[in-house]
Structure 1
Amino acid sequence: MNNKHNNNLSHGLKSRHVTMLSIAGVIGAGLFVGSGRAIAEAGPAAVLAYIFAGILVILVMRMLAEMAVASPDTGSFSTYADRAIGKWAGFSIGWMYWWFWVLIIPIEANIAATIINSWVPQLEIWVLSLVITLLLTATNLFSVKNYGEFEFWLALVKVLAIVGFITLGICAIMGLLPETGVSGVSRLWDNGGFMPNGFGAVISAMLITMFSFLGAEVVTIAAAESDAAEKQISRATNSVIWRIALFYILSIFIVVALVPWNDPRLATEGSYVTVLEILGVPNAKMLIDVVVLTSVTSCLNSSLYTASRMLFSLSKRGEAPACANYTTSSGTPIYAVLLSTGAAFLTVIANYMVPSKVFGFLMASSGTIALLVYLVIAVSQLRLRKKLTAEGKQLDYRMWLFPWLTWAVILFISMVLVVMLFRPDHQLEVVATAVLSVLVVCSGLLVSRRHAKAKARVIAQGGIPVSTDR
């Protein structure tokens, strides 16, 4: 393709865009709706599940930030896996991560459409889903600045909603809302104790909560399109501790302190709606629906952005269609955006065309990708640190207690994957992701071999091989 542009992304994200993206990047619809499932599973001890999952994310983000500050790249952990483990690893985890977000796009669009349909039943869900996806594709097509601005305001709504919820909850716990008849924290142990279903249920709940956190790493991808990327990444990573503590752990603590863990509404209506109803907030469901709609729209927007940037990075390394690294004059990878959106529409069509079991297997194939991404980040950091140290390079941002904490994360994730394999409710996810992994890794090995042969051929002809790393 004759490209008059330089195939480079713009630096259109402002500091406030990256800051808000880092603050709200871990807040998905799962916090407002899915947290009820975790509480129903583990009881008040669901707080421990969020603490364990939160610690894991904090450690993984610290490792990722070490590599990202040393070398900001829109391919993020895929690029680092390429350098640390091998081309096959960067190829494999990049494509699997792209697949994860491509599957998320139609799911989030359907959730958003269902909420709007409940308000305006005359509009078909599939039509609303199509319109929402097309509108957000448009925001990603023009420039990264448009994406950043749109995401800034969506994220702000999420943050304000959670801060308002926490403020209201703390007032109730302290007895400042006597008219509600709710106060104190006795519900933490009133119904069978703090851990009514045992520690095994906490591990089970952690598997539910862990996937709520996927998205924290998007800030390292986005920061590559901002000025002073290194500064933005380190600032965002440093703030991840209080973000998880405030938005997840404190808000879940408020839920289990105010609502009996065995209240059936937690699983059916969601944790936030249940708390607001108990506190007598009028139109509680409508309020949370608006917040969930905002969160889903934000997630859909970020899904399109993240999938397109990962595809762009893969293309730059010669591991995806060449057209995907074409950028417009505004620095937007237009074909990467369109290919990602097109793939998402194909999954929607597949939902209607193929048997439900086949589509269910496709959906399950993304089930443990979050854990594989974390595992690859840890292994990459372990190997890259040794390489950089051997080269005598100074790192401005470092992982704590290296290599002990890195090894602890690797062993913990491996243990969780084994536990999932032997739990009936997670077996399909592990098996489906394993099948996908084998297919993608085999493809990665073939691509890696092709690159090696091409490089050897160029050297044999007396030329200098051109590196595709960026």
Structure 2
Amino acid sequence: MTEQITQGRGRFEHADAGLKQSMSFTQLLFLGVSAQVGSGWLFAVLAAAGFAGPAALLAWLIAGILIGLIALSYAELGSMLPRSGAIVRYTYLTHGSFAGWIIGWAYWLSAVSIPPIEAEAVLTYLGGAYPQTHFLHKQQGVDVLTWPNGIVAGIILMLFFFALNFYGAKLLSESNRWVTLWKILLPTATFCFLFAILNASNFHAYGGFAPRGVQPIFHAIASAGIIFSLLGFRQALDYGGEVRNPQRNVPMATWGSIVIPVVLYTLLQVAFVGAINWSDMGLKPGQWDLLQTSKWADGPFFHALDSAGIAALAALGTLLLIDAAVSPLATGWVYLGTGARTAYGLGVHRNVPPIFQANNRFGIPWVALIVSTVVGCVFFVPAPSWYQLVGFISAAAVLTYVMGGVGLPVMRRTAPQIPRPFRLKAVGFWSPISFVVAMLIVYWAGFSTLANVITATFIGLPLFVWYYGWKRGWLSPVPATILGVVFLGVWAYIAYAGGWVLTSSGGQRSGGWSFGVYDIVFSAVVLAFCLLLRWLSNAEGRQHIDATWWLIFLLLATLPASYFGYYGPLKNPPLGFPWGTLVEIGIGLIAYYWGVRVGFNTEEMQDICASYEEGGTEAAAAKLADE
């Protein structure tokens, strides 16, 4: 007989009972800040300037505002239901298990790919300063990790991240406190010193303030590591089940971990643009688009300080090499913990085996931590460079943030009795803005990145059917197995024959299908899978699938909008700027209102509400305040 997954009253509400609520507000805030001041400050300023020139300054400020808009919805959700792996778990509460799996899978992929990119950042800086390590070699002008030296060193760093996480959130947060102070002080000292040698002509003399136009500013936000550098506000949500007084501390830490990095990064961008020495880079003045292949690409600030020829700045450059290890390492070990808690959240909802919820004696989900470490190491193979991996991570992570905007109105409808220490005003105005902003960032990432993200997201569908679908009793094991195997085989064939994903150049492999053929076949296969799953499922399964169609539409409609838009591969796109962006806004609004309408009172949400009703709202609120 098929094993049925039972929910049991209070199971979801008390799922975090094994986790230790040991973090203070300061520790939680520092986790968020530390997660953002990592490899981003070492490389993103060069990448952003390469996209937008001096106008990269605006990109940081705009990105900060956009992240703040996304965080509005999560501020209420985080104060209402602080949970470990929160961003993954909220989707299950509003749109059920199928949507929850798609979002959770994408979020987990983004989380586990951040530790390897931080390891790549460490090895890129050190390999550039000490070529005798043989960590790096050039591939199409970009520094990538070598085999075996570079990749083996990266795996060793991943094991170091694992060890720090294994011994508990308290050790992680305590060690992170002092590292974060270092990570704030050294970048501050860097831009202060570089201001002394600032060359104002770099801001206007070589093509003007926006030498490549307005459009690349938005592309830089999504693809140059800017959004990647500002994603750390989610740490306050992902560690919400392990912090004292979460209703107060989670929202405060969320806002603090947005404001501090935005200010810091904007000042660093000013300092870097002003410090550019074109001849030392090996470039002609104004060759902004070649910055990523310049001599400074393996260590932008180190070379900027070294080229000044001032002894004091050279000494600071030595400290910068130390920080090239410290900052990314600290971010890497924080995000490995995030990946583990994301897998833990998937385990709470039984999308993965319950063993992923197993905690060690330090209160850490150790199985989830091991799996996250192993999968993270795999990313060294297809993307052994910081510049190659950053766009994928940014788009995959921001894609999952649409759930805050669409989920908040649903929770207002299904769980009005749960106390909300922070309550967002004018939710009907801010929620759709939060949703659309997240999708615009994904759209601005560009077609190549988006094609890889959507392909990687849908590869998780067979895993859902093989485990959750038949374990839950939606459909019997035999059709579940056949459906998953057939889809996986067809998906692999389309990905290879189409030639649009996993290409080293970011374009299309020779001999691949035209985009029209690829898009039609890919969309048809995904829709066929979902329709067959619905047809084979019981009434419960059909309800969950029907609550997910809006998300399938959003992903499949965004792909052609991206291809035919300014950020696609066409030289003369029919949806040039800003028309493609406006089309994406229209797609986003359709998906938002559709998603709000089909959100329902899930079994997990009923479970949580029942626990409040049994004890009384006031008693529940008092209990939460005491935590």
Q: TM-score range by the shorter chain?
A: 0.7 to 0.9
Give the structure 2 partner of residue 16 of structure 1.
26
Give the structure 1 partner of residue 399 of structure 2.
372
Matched, 1:210 2:227: yes
Give the structure 2 partner of residue 321 of structure 1.
353
Going from structure 1 to structure 2, the CA distance change for 1:343 and 1:164 (only over 3 Å counts) comes to same
The question of whether the paired residues in 2 share the 8 Å contact of 1:17 and 1:149 is answered with yes
TM superposition shift of 1:225 = 0.6
Choose which of 331, 344, 350 in structure 2 pairs with 1:312. Answer: 344
- Structure-2 separation of matches of 1:436 and 1:122: 33
Q: Aligned runs of 1:42-61 on 2, under 5 Å?
A: 42-61=52-71
Choose which of 165, 173, 181 in structure 1 pairs with 2:190. Answer: 165
Give the structure 2 partner of residue 41 of structure 1.
51
Q: Which runs of 5+ in 1 are unaligned?
A: 173-179, 421-425, 459-464
Give the structure 1 partner of residue 305 of structure 2.
276
Moved more, 160-169 or 29-38: 160-169
**Secondary structure of the residue that 2:229 maps to in structure 1?**
coil
With normalisation by structure 1, the TM-score equals 0.81
- Over residues 307-326 of structure 1, what are the superposed CA-to-partner deviations in whole Å (9 max), with x where a residue is unaligned? 11111121122111221111
TM superposition shift of 1:402 = 2.2
Going from structure 1 to structure 2, the CA distance change for 1:87 and 1:46 (only over 3 Å counts) comes to same
Give the structure 1 partner of residue 332 of structure 2.
300
Give the structure 2 partner of residue 141 of structure 1.
166
The question of whether the paired residues in 1 share the 8 Å contact of 2:85 and 2:237 is answered with no
Give the structure 1 partner of residue 203 of structure 2.
188
Matched, 1:129 2:158: no
- Structure-1 separation of matches of 2:252 and 2:259: 12
- Structure-1 separation of matches of 2:262 and 2:53: 19
The one-letter amino acid of 2:305's match is L
- Structure-1 separation of matches of 2:117 and 2:436: 32
- Structure-2 separation of matches of 1:108 and 1:163: 20
TM superposition shift of 1:159 = 0.8
Going from structure 1 to structure 2, the CA distance change for 1:51 and 1:343 (only over 3 Å counts) comes to same
Q: Aligned runs of 1:394-409 on 2, under 5 Å?
A: 394-399=419-424, 401-409=426-434
- Structure-1 separation of matches of 2:133 and 2:258: 44
Moved more, 115-124 or 217-226: 115-124
TM superposition shift of 1:284 = 5.4
Going from structure 1 to structure 2, the CA distance change for 1:366 and 1:441 (only over 3 Å counts) comes to farther
Going from structure 1 to structure 2, the CA distance change for 1:87 and 1:151 (only over 3 Å counts) comes to same
The question of whether the paired residues in 1 share the 8 Å contact of 2:28 and 2:235 is answered with no
Matched, 1:334 2:366: yes
Q: Aligned runs of 1:424-443 on 2, under 5 Å?
A: 426-441=446-461, 443=463
- Over residues 75-116 of structure 1, what are the superposed CA-to-partner deviations in whole Å (9 max), with x where a residue is unaligned? 211111111222222222222222222233333334434545
TM superposition shift of 1:196 = 1.7
Give the structure 1 partner of residue 81 of structure 2.
71
Give the structure 2 partner of residue 176 of structure 1.
none
TM superposition shift of 1:39 = 0.9
The one-letter amino acid of 1:291's match is D
**Secondary structure of the residue that 2:205 maps to in structure 1?**
coil
- Over residues 191-224 of structure 1, what are the superposed CA-to-partner deviations in whole Å (9 max), with x where a residue is unaligned? 2222121111212222222222223211211232
Going from structure 1 to structure 2, the CA distance change for 1:201 and 1:135 (only over 3 Å counts) comes to closer
**Secondary structure of the residue that 1:216 maps to in structure 2?**
helix
- Structure-2 separation of matches of 1:362 and 1:36: 15
Moved more, 286-295 or 259-268: 259-268
**Secondary structure of the residue that 2:459 maps to in structure 1?**
helix
How large is the Cα RMSD of the aligned pairs?
3.5
Give the structure 2 partner of residue 80 of structure 1.
90
- Structure-2 separation of matches of 1:145 and 1:243: 23
The one-letter amino acid of 2:119's match is A
The one-letter amino acid of 2:227's match is M
The one-letter amino acid of 1:342's match is V
- Structure-1 separation of matches of 2:270 and 2:437: 25
The one-letter amino acid of 2:176's match is E
With normalisation by structure 2, the TM-score equals 0.62
The question of whether the paired residues in 2 share the 8 Å contact of 1:362 and 1:432 is answered with no
Q: State the structure with more CA Rg.
A: 2
Going from structure 1 to structure 2, the CA distance change for 1:17 and 1:367 (only over 3 Å counts) comes to closer
Going from structure 1 to structure 2, the CA distance change for 1:412 and 1:126 (only over 3 Å counts) comes to closer
The question of whether the paired residues in 1 share the 8 Å contact of 2:336 and 2:369 is answered with yes
Identity fraction in percent = 20
Give the structure 1 partner of residue 265 of structure 2.
248
Give the structure 1 partner of residue 256 of structure 2.
239
Going from structure 1 to structure 2, the CA distance change for 1:112 and 1:188 (only over 3 Å counts) comes to closer
**Secondary structure of the residue that 2:156 maps to in structure 1?**
helix
TM superposition shift of 1:134 = 1.9
TM superposition shift of 1:416 = 4.4
TM superposition shift of 1:66 = 1.0
The one-letter amino acid of 1:276's match is L
Going from structure 1 to structure 2, the CA distance change for 1:385 and 1:35 (only over 3 Å counts) comes to farther
The question of whether the paired residues in 2 share the 8 Å contact of 1:89 and 1:441 is answered with no
By relative contact order (CA 8 Å, sep 6+), the higher-ranking structure is 1
- Structure-2 separation of matches of 1:263 and 1:364: 22
Going from structure 1 to structure 2, the CA distance change for 1:213 and 1:6 (only over 3 Å counts) comes to closer
- Over residues 132-152 of structure 1, what are the superposed CA-to-partner deviations in whole Å (9 max), with x where a residue is unaligned? 222221111122111112222
